[in-house]
Chains A and B, each alone.
Chain A
Amino acid sequence: MRDRITTTFRHYSIKRKLMVFFLLLSAVGIFVTTTAFLINEFYSHHQSARQEIKAQASILARNTSAAIIFSDKTAANEILSGLKANPRIVAVALFSMDHSLFAHYVAHGADNTRLRSEFTSLLRPSADPKVLFTALQEASGRFPFMEMRPLVSEPIILDNQRIGTVVIQTDLHYIYRELQFLAAIMTCVALTTFVIAWMLARRFQRIISDPIISLSNIIKLVSNEKNYALRAVSDSPDEIGTLISGFNEMLQEIQNRDRIVSEQQQLLLEEKNSRIRKLTAAVEQSANSIIITTPQGDIEYVNPYFCYTTGYSADEVIGKNPRILKSSDSDVSEKYRELWQTVLDGRRWTGEFLNRKKNGEIFWEQATIAPVLDDRGVITSLIAIKVDITERKQAEAEMRQAKEQAEAANHAKSEFLANMSHEIRTPMNGVIGMSDLLVDTPLDEFVDAIRTSADHLMGIINAILDFSKIEADKMELDEAPFLLRPFLGATLRSLFGKAEEKGLELTVQVDQDVPDSLEGDPGRLRQILLNLLNNAAKFSSSGEIQLYVGLESREDSALLIRFSVRDQGIGIPEDKLERIFESFTQADASTSKTYGGTGLGLAICKRLAELMGGRIWVESTPGVGSTFSFTVKLLDREHDQQSPARCLSFDGLTAMVVDDNQTNRLYLSTLLSGLGFTTVSEADCADVALEKLVSARDRACLPALLLVDLCMPGGDGWTLMESLKVQEGFDAVRRILMPSVGMRGDAGRCRELGVDGYLVKPIVTDEFHELLRRVLSLEAEDNHERWPVTQHQVWEEQVRLVLLVVDDVEVNRMLARAILERMGHDVTCAGSGREALELLSTRIFDAVFMDIQMPEMNGLQATAVIRAQEMSLGGRRMPIIAMTAYALASDRDRCLGAGMDGYVSKPVKPQKIREALERCHVIPIQTVKPSIHPLAGMPAVEPAGIKLPLLPGSVPLIPVFDRAGLVDRLGGEELVDIFVSKFLSGMLVQLDKLQAELDCGSVDTVRAVAHAIKGLAANIGAEQVRQMAIDMETAAGAGDLAGVAALHGCMLEVYEAFERETVADKSR
């Protein structure tokens, strides 16, 4: 029941709810009030009635006391009758002491309804008052609320003595009447109040319900119409107002979001549309055929190009399968299968089809077919994009053909070049070789001519081959590291002879910012430089040739270096300047006649320069001179190179430069200042220099260093040095002599004159630094006995190798060791092939110098064993350089064929050793000879020695003892005596052997001995002995025992001559 009510109530509108609430409240209030009021009234009435009766009883008691005491019934009745006035008193009974009824009163009209039973009984005549009294007495003790006919009894007391009892009965019905009346009134009041409440409620509930209803209506409206622009009106700041405000805000928020969303949607839509437009346009406009099919392959769409290509219109093909394009010329079932597999897998397939147009034409198409997948990965369509590749196919075929042809042509070219190279060289080798052999014959003049021509021809051929190689793009550039300044020095040195001949001065200037450690093709670079320098020398008769090297530009480690060669020669007329680099041209047709040359040189230089990433150009004024410049790209390897310590501090030192050439003076001054020398004074001739030095001495400010050019007019370097040695007070000055060319014997002279350093021009910075450092660290005292510090020493100490020298002849070993150690290397010697193998198994060597002709195991055998071991053990290939007296190319080939890497012919020279080591890449390349075959151990022909012919018996033209040469090879005089004595003892052994073998008559062993002697003699510089040994070897080789025997006598003679010579030497 309660639930029903609650539910029903809940279903009421707010209005109703509020009304109900208000009214309920009012009703309850009114009801409660009324009831309370009525009850109160009843109660109070009751109370007052009770009190009234009691009072009345008391009064009566008092009033009737006299009557009772005097038994005056009349009086008593009289009194009682006075009660008429009080209608509420229904009956009164006076009882005397004995409980008899003394008097009584009954209200008029009181009947049984009003009288209590006791009273009615009392009034009956048969009543027993006493009994009734008790009853009445009892009844009067109670006075319950609901008693409408209450009894009250009161004792009548007179003078503290009870004389009787009065009992009154009233009728309270009047109360009810009163109350009813009241109730009626109250009801009316209540109703009125209720009505008023209702009206008020109606009025005031709107304060609450109106906003809510309005809000609710708006909400309904909003949700029905989805119109979020509506707003609820709020006119009160209470919670409902807050609710409404909140609601409004929410609507605003929704509106905002809706707006944003719709804007975004709009954007997206636009984007999508734009994209669709673009894509559609792309498809429509595409110059490829595009077909879209169902997953089963039925055409849904074709683009215009398709129609254009195939000739079918869209309507004709829609609904059909692209197979309609299939040309019967091809079997494509395999292709189709593959296609379907790929595509159904979700991947793209590309392939080529030979298709047929509507008009029957066949054409090639490359098709790319891709599936279109929806979100779940189901294929919804297939797209095919087709490109007409008919032309391409044709082009491909043509290209293939052309390529084949080109390859064939190229192949032919290479073959030709290779052939040519070989074909040309072979006869050339023959010519040159033969001319060599002819050296010892009386046809020496002719031989010279042949040789010169052959060389010349070789040069031209090389140029032509180079040129054609470049033209055929077969020229490959080396990428080798090299040091610039040493490289320049070496390059220039090869020009010295010619320059000296013509009296030309060679200077070089390298900019400070050009790094030294570079990477490029030094060979080609050298080729260009030599070409230009040779040209400069060729076309100059006087003046100087300047080589300038500068840094043109730099990009990280890629450098563009500029080389300029300036001469003071005949110059080149302006109109010829452009053509000068073209092939086969010279400035003047007559030039070749006067000056010779192929006219290819500059063209080759141009191509080489361009190949090396640069260019070449010339500036020239006829009659004044020319400057040829070129640029090449080289890599900066400065960070790689372990530079020798360059922290040389010459701060605060002073120097003097003496040179007649201003450029040189300037260059040296700049160099010295750059190194820290504070003052560099100059003098242009020896006399001036001496003057300055004397005055400096007198002022006690001598320079610490003196650099003196050798060739100066009016007193050369030697003169100055002499003066300085003779005169006093110049001990503190370190002196360096700078000749243009290194001459034999200069070292000795320097030593005599107390010259501290000997520096051959051109000056190369590194060498210069090191030289200066050494020179300046020398003490003044032992001035006299010192050899001058030279470049070689400086140079050769930069690399230190661990080398093994294998030779059965002790002198040879010693010589090789001396030379190698002088170069700064660590040398171990082995006396035989076997010993060499043992040593090689225990230690690691950087390279091996192996003699060929050795007993038991010769050099070739030993090399073979080493190589075999390397193969099986997988070790690094050890560079093995042959050291032998064999000089011919065939010998060289044999050595290389046996597995050797290089070849040095005896007499061994430091230069050759260095080159051999460089070629084997044991040491970095500092001097490189232009080689035609990269693997060549040496140029095709090694001069076999001094070209002077020797006739049997004619001795004097060949020196007995080339002492200077020995000294030169050894790098100093110290070891000469030791070597000589070694040689002598060695020779004795050999001569004995020779004798023995001759006696035996075994030509082969004789040949071997002769060969050994040849080597020995070559090393020591006993030229005559050597020559004799050569003859002997040849003769023995030819089997001419008689000739050998004859030569033997000569051998002994020349040996004795050598002995004499060396003894005489010792005594000097």
Chain B
Amino acid sequence: MNLFHLLIVMFVLIIPVTESGAAAEAEYQVKAAMLYNFAKFVEWPADSFGSDSRIIFCVAGKSPLNSTIQQMQGKQVKGRTVSIRQVSRPDEVAGCQVLFIPHSENIRLSAYLQQANHNVVLTVGDQERFTASGGMIGFYEEENKVRFEINLEAAQKRHLQISSHLLNLARRVR
């Protein structure tokens, strides 16, 4: 299943936001966890980190991820402490290692992506055409399961190494 389907499913799901709020919550819980785990399977170039031992997870806009991602705050990823940052505009992505662009920020997607390309950021989104647009990892829904797809090219452009293991799990790899 591709991420597109996943997204559609997710839309369908999300449309009944209110009744599936919980479901949405659950979904974004999963995504948050996935996001956190993605970091475990990605290699950043050494100089892409700041002087401290943090790994910045940036969340763009407003989404349910914002709250769920908070759970990840302080966890360790390959020895680094996860730090969650809220990003409202694309120019704030500097210093982020991971950027999540929810589908709510779809409008600013290309801006974020562009901005992200100036830096070494792992871009993760759950838009339907995330990866087609140049995003690196896109979530999608399939059979009620959150799945993802990976744009390896994009990652490779930005010198991000994505583990084969992860790649194996992904739907589509470019």
B168 touches A66 (CB 8 A): yes
A75 touches B77 (CB 8 A): no
Shortest distance between the CB of A1018 and any CB in chain B (Å): 191
Q: How distant is the Cα of A159 from the Cα of B77 in the complex, in angstroms?
A: 7
Q: How distant is the Cα of A859 from the Cα of B77 in the complex, in angstroms?
A: 187
Q: How distant is the Cα of A79 from the Cα of B168 in the complex, in angstroms?
A: 9
B34 touches A70 (CB 8 A): yes
Shortest distance between the CB of A80 and any CB in chain B (Å): 13
Q: How distant is the Cα of A69 from the Cα of B75 in the complex, in angstroms?
A: 15
B168 touches A75 (CB 8 A): yes
* B163 interfacial by beta-carbon distance below 8 Å: yes
Given A159-B78, A160-B76, also A62-B40 (CB < 8 A) = no
B166 touches A66 (CB 8 A): yes
* B37 interfacial by beta-carbon distance below 8 Å: yes
Q: Most chain-A Cβ atoms within 10 A of its Cβ — which of B37, B41, B76, B163?
A: B37
Q: Most chain-B Cβ atoms within 10 A of its Cβ — which of A70, A75, A160?
A: A70
Q: How distant is the Cα of A70 from the Cα of B37 in the complex, in angstroms?
A: 8
Q: Which residues of B contact A160 (CB under 8 A)?
A: 76
Q: Which residues of B contact A66 (CB under 8 A)?
A: 37, 41, 163, 165-166, 168-169
Query: Contact flags (1/0) for B150-173 with A, using CB distance below 8 Å?
Result: 000000000000010110110000
A69 touches B168 (CB 8 A): no
* Majority SS at the chain A contact face: helix
Q: How distant is the Cα of A287 from the Cα of B169 in the complex, in angstroms?
A: 154
Shortest distance between the CB of B33 and any CB in chain A (Å): 8
Given A62-B165, A63-B165, A75-B168, also A69-B76 (CB < 8 A) = no
A72 touches B169 (CB 8 A): yes
Number of interface residues, chain A, beta carbon within 8 A: 15
Q: Which residues of B contact A79 (CB under 8 A)?
A: 168
* A549 interfacial by beta-carbon distance below 8 Å: no
Query: Contact flags (1/0) for A51-63 with B, using CB distance below 8 Å?
Result: 0000000000011
Q: Which residues of A contact B77 (CB under 8 A)?
A: 159
Q: How distant is the Cα of A63 from the Cα of B166 in the complex, in angstroms?
A: 10
**Interface residue from A62, A69, A78 paired with B37 (Cβ < 8 Å):** A69
Query: Contact flags (1/0) for A139-168 with B, using CB distance below 8 Å?
Result: 000000000000000000011110000000
Shortest distance between the CB of B31 and any CB in chain A (Å): 11
Q: How distant is the Cα of A159 from the Cα of B78 in the complex, in angstroms?
A: 6
Number of interface residues, chain B, beta carbon within 8 A: 12
* A626 interfacial by beta-carbon distance below 8 Å: no
Residue of B nearest to A74 (CB): B169
B169 touches A75 (CB 8 A): yes
Q: Which residues of A contact B168 (CB under 8 A)?
A: 66-67, 75, 78-79
Q: How distant is the Cα of A239 from the Cα of B168 in the complex, in angstroms?
A: 82
Residue of A nearest to B36 (CB): A69
User: In the complex, which residues 59-97 of chain B have their Cβ closer than 8 Å to any Cβ of chain A?
Assistant: 76-78
**Interface residue from A63, A67, A72, A159 paired with B40 (Cβ < 8 Å):** A159
* A884 interfacial by beta-carbon distance below 8 Å: no
User: In the complex, which residues 117-174 of chain B have their Cβ closer than 8 Å to any Cβ of chain A?
Assistant: 163, 165-166, 168-169
* A65 interfacial by beta-carbon distance below 8 Å: yes
Q: Which residues of A contact B34 (CB under 8 A)?
A: 70
Shortest distance between the CB of A59 and any CB in chain B (Å): 11
* Majority SS at the chain B contact face: helix
B169 touches A159 (CB 8 A): no
Query: Contact flags (1/0) for B10-32 with A, using CB distance below 8 Å?
Result: 00000000000000000000000
Q: How distant is the Cα of A976 from the Cα of B41 in the complex, in angstroms?
A: 194
Q: Which residues of B contact A63 (CB under 8 A)?
A: 165
Q: Most chain-B Cβ atoms within 10 A of its Cβ — which of A65, A69, A161?
A: A69
Q: How distant is the Cα of A65 from the Cα of B168 in the complex, in angstroms?
A: 11
Q: How distant is the Cα of A67 from the Cα of B76 in the complex, in angstroms?
A: 19
Q: Which residues of A contact B76 (CB under 8 A)?
A: 159-161
Shortest distance between the CB of B26 and any CB in chain A (Å): 13
Q: How distant is the Cα of A161 from the Cα of B82 in the complex, in angstroms?
A: 15
Residue of A nearest to B30 (CB): A71
Q: How distant is the Cα of A784 from the Cα of B166 in the complex, in angstroms?
A: 192
Residue of A nearest to B40 (CB): A159
Q: How distant is the Cα of A69 from the Cα of B34 in the complex, in angstroms?
A: 8
Q: Which residues of A contact B40 (CB under 8 A)?
A: 69, 158-159
Q: How distant is the Cα of A54 from the Cα of B40 in the complex, in angstroms?
A: 24
Residue of B nearest to A64 (CB): B165
Q: How distant is the Cα of A78 from the Cα of B166 in the complex, in angstroms?
A: 14
Q: Which residues of B contact A70 (CB under 8 A)?
A: 34, 37, 169
Q: Which residues of A contact B166 (CB under 8 A)?
A: 66
Residue of B nearest to A78 (CB): B168
Q: How distant is the Cα of A742 from the Cα of B169 in the complex, in angstroms?
A: 195
Q: How distant is the Cα of A159 from the Cα of B81 in the complex, in angstroms?
A: 12
**Interface residue from A62, A67, A158, A161 paired with B169 (Cβ < 8 Å):** A67
8 tightest A-B CB contacts, nearest first:
A66-B165, A159-B40, A69-B37, A75-B169, A72-B169, A70-B169, A66-B169, A66-B166
Pairs A–B under 8 Å by Cβ, sample size 6? A63-B165, A66-B163, A70-B37, A158-B40, A159-B40, A161-B76
Known contacts A66-B166, A66-B169, A75-B168; 5 additional CB pairs below 8 A are A65-B165, A66-B168, A67-B168, A70-B37, A159-B76
Give the interface of B toward A (CB within 8 A): 34, 37, 40-41, 76-78, 163, 165-166, 168-169
